Amino acid sequence: MLWNSSLETGIKLVDEQHKQLFDTADELLDADGDDKIKKALDFLASYITKHFTDEQKLHASVSYPKAAVHKGYHDEYVKTFKKFQEQYNKEGATLSNKMAANKIVVGWLKDHIMVHDKEFTKYYKEKTAQK
C-alpha cells in the first residue's frame, strides 16, 4: 500500500515518519533478494522505535490522557514486529511470510494511524491551538 493523503495527520513530523515507514514497507514487499529484505527489516525495526519514541514525546507535550494506552499499542507492535523479523530471517521469503509482512507491517500501521493516531491528532491540535 502506498502512502496517500487519507493517512495524513497534519502533524509534519509524524506524517514524514509515517511516509518513511510506508516507503520502506513497500520496499520490503517488493524486495527480491535476502539482502534487500534484511536491510528493509533492519531499517524498519530501528525506525519504528524512533518513530514511537517521537510520537510518545508529542503525547507527553500535551498531557494526552490516552498516552499509556497508546504506548501499550506501540509496545505490543514492537514485540510482534520483532517476532515476525526473527521468523522472516529464519525462514526467508516464503509465501506465508510475504502475506504476514503485508498484514503486520502495512496493515497494522494503516489501522493504527487511521484510528489511534488520528484520535491523538485531534486532541493534539485542540491543545496546541489553545497555546
Q: What are the extents of the domains in the chain?
A: 10-15+27-129
Q: What's the pTM value of the predicted model, to 2 decimals? A: 0.89
The pLDDT, as a whole number, for residue 69 is 97
CATH architecture of 10-15+27-129: Up-down Bundle (1.20)
Dihedral sign, CA of 10, 14, 17, 23?
negative
Q: pLDDT digit string (tens) for 8-37?
A: 999 999 999 999 998 988 888 887 777 888
Residues 6+ apart with CB under 8 A from 121: 9, 10, 11, 14
- Alpha helices for the chain (secondary structure H): 12-30, 34-61, 67-91, 95-101, 108-112, 118-129
Q: pLDDT digit string (tens) for 31-85?
A: 777 788 888 889 999 999 999 999 999 999 999 999 999 999 999 999 999 999 9
Query: How confident is residue 131, by pLDDT bands cut at 50, 70 and 90?
Result: low
Query: How confident is residue 125, by pLDDT bands cut at 50, 70 and 90?
Result: very high
